[in-house]
Amino acid sequence: MSVPKSEYLSSVWRDNIFANRVVFVTGGAGSICSAQTRALVHLGANACIIGRNASKTESVAKEIALVRPGSRVLGIGNIDVRSFDSLKSAVDRCVRELGAIDFVIAGAAGNFIAPISGLSPNAFKSVIDIDTIGTFNTVKATIPYLIESAARNPNPNPDGTTGGRILAVSAAFHYTGMPLQAHVSAAKAAVDALMASVSLEYGPYGVTANCVVPGAIEGTEGMARLASSAVDKQTMGKGIPSGRMGSVRDIADATVYLFSDAGNYVNGTNLVVDGAGWRRQGGV
Ligand code: HXC
């Protein structure tokens, strides 16, 4: 069954702004990245989502395709972003079957709650490998296609179409430091630094590279892993200056903005979508 539009996209966007564009998404079957993909497909894009779990990735791809008749959504499973060769095989298949890569979302991530005393060196490394090395592998494997897309779609383009954009899904934990999240804080700090360098190296080619920084987003696998089940939505929302938890739609809308013509001068930045939650991380 198709997910209602109101759950992944606000009503302000014009249909078909991403017609004939292709988005490549790592971790695309996850709650946040599937909503980002759904929004882009709704607005005209075709998509390739990749993940480790084949049946989940393929079934989420089928479900995303329902949002727009005629869309093409490829789900490629058994891909681990920690392996460049594995990721590159998915990139090659995406280009072979969908013809191009215009947008990239580097969303694959690993997380669990653990104090430093409970983190083995391999546990710490596993999250660095998925988040940081995985994002690097994604940049490395897709950047030639993003450069080509940017050349076809100069930034800004008089006709308002866009291409050559890469977005990493980061976090705000490292802005203050975060207990039980040393591994993710370190991994995402490196993701931010990586994406800043991408913006500098590839900005001259017309590519934009940014991070979107979700706060506490309700209904996600990340929240299920991080928040105690005893903490309900209302209680958590009250601790956030904007008075509520975020939704996957908040992140999808931010993604649409960054990939649209409206975001064409936004490069090398982190768009924090968290109701100012991170400003209270220190308990202020
Ligand atoms: C301590 C743990 C642990 C835990 C695993 N490990 N869970 N250590 N506490 N709760 C250790 C293992 O013991 C092992 O170390 C090492 O981590 C690797 O574990 P494996 O299970 O062998 O690795 P793997 O199968 O590759 O799994 C990677 C993973 C797993 C990160 C551990 O959780 C995963 O696959 N996650 C992907 C999905 C996910 O996390 N989604 C949530 C993303 S949300 P030893 O020493 O025993 O070998 C998110 C939100 C970000 O990222 C923040 C947003 C605001």
Mapped onto helix, strand or coil, the DSSP state of residue 1 is coil
- Is residue 152 one of the residues assigned to a domain? yes
Catalytic residues: 170, 188
- Residue 50 Cα to ligand 1 midpoint, Å, equals 18
Ligand 1 atom closest to 215 (CA):
55
Q: Produce one character per residue of 33-56: b if its CB has 16 or more CB atoms within 10 Å, e if not.
A: bbbbbbbbbbbbbbbbbbbbeeee
- Is residue 10 one of the residues assigned to a domain? no
How far is 11 from 282, CA to CA, in rounded Å? 35
Pocket of ligand 1 contains residue 277 by CB under 6 Å: no
- Is residue 2 one of the residues assigned to a domain? no
pLDDT in tens, the chain (284 residues): 789 999 999 999 999 999 999 999 999 999 999 999 999 999 999 999 999 999 999 999 999 999 999 999 999 999 999 999 999 999 999 999 999 999 999 999 999 999 999 999 999 999 999 999 999 999 999 999 999 999 999 999 999 999 999 999 999 999 999 999 999 999 999 999 999 999 999 999 999 999 999 999 999 988 887 776 667 778 889 999 999 999 999 999 999 999 999 999 999 999 999 999 999 986 65
By most ligand atoms within 8 Å of CB, the mutation choice from 120, 126, 270 for ligand 1 is 126
- Is residue 283 one of the residues assigned to a domain? no
Q: Whose CA is nearest to atom 44 of ligand 1?
A: 222
Note the ipTM here. 0.96
How far from 54 is each of 78, 89, 108, 129, CA to CA, in Å?
A: 5, 15, 14, 20
CB 214 within 8 A of CB 234: no
Pocket of ligand 1 contains residue 120 by CB under 6 Å: yes
Pocket of ligand 1 contains residue 127 by CB under 6 Å: yes
Residue 52 is part of which domain span?
Answer: 15-273
Q: What type of residue sits at position 54?
A: A
- Residue 125 Cα to ligand 1 midpoint, Å, equals 10
How open is the CA angle 208-251-281, to the nearest 5 degrees? Answer: 100
List helix spans (H) across 5-102.
31-42, 54-65, 84-98
Mapped onto helix, strand or coil, the DSSP state of residue 244 is coil
Q: Whose CA is nearest to atom 25 of ligand 1?
A: 126
Q: What type of residue sits at position 161?
A: T
How far is 54 from 58, CA to CA, in rounded Å? 6
How many domains does the chain contain in total? 1
Q: What is the CATH number of the domain that holds 135?
A: 3.40.50.720
- Residue 160 Cα to ligand 1 midpoint, Å, equals 41
Pocket of ligand 1 contains residue 80 by CB under 6 Å: no
- Is residue 279 one of the residues assigned to a domain? no
Q: What are phi and psi of 12, to 5 degrees?
A: -80, -15
- Is residue 210 one of the residues assigned to a domain? yes
By most ligand atoms within 8 Å of CB, the mutation choice from 50, 83, 112, 170 for ligand 1 is 112
| DSSP codes, 151-182 | HHS-SS-TT-----EEEEE--SHHHH--TT-H
How far is 118 from 139, CA to CA, in rounded Å? 31
- Is residue 278 one of the residues assigned to a domain? no
- Is residue 232 one of the residues assigned to a domain? yes
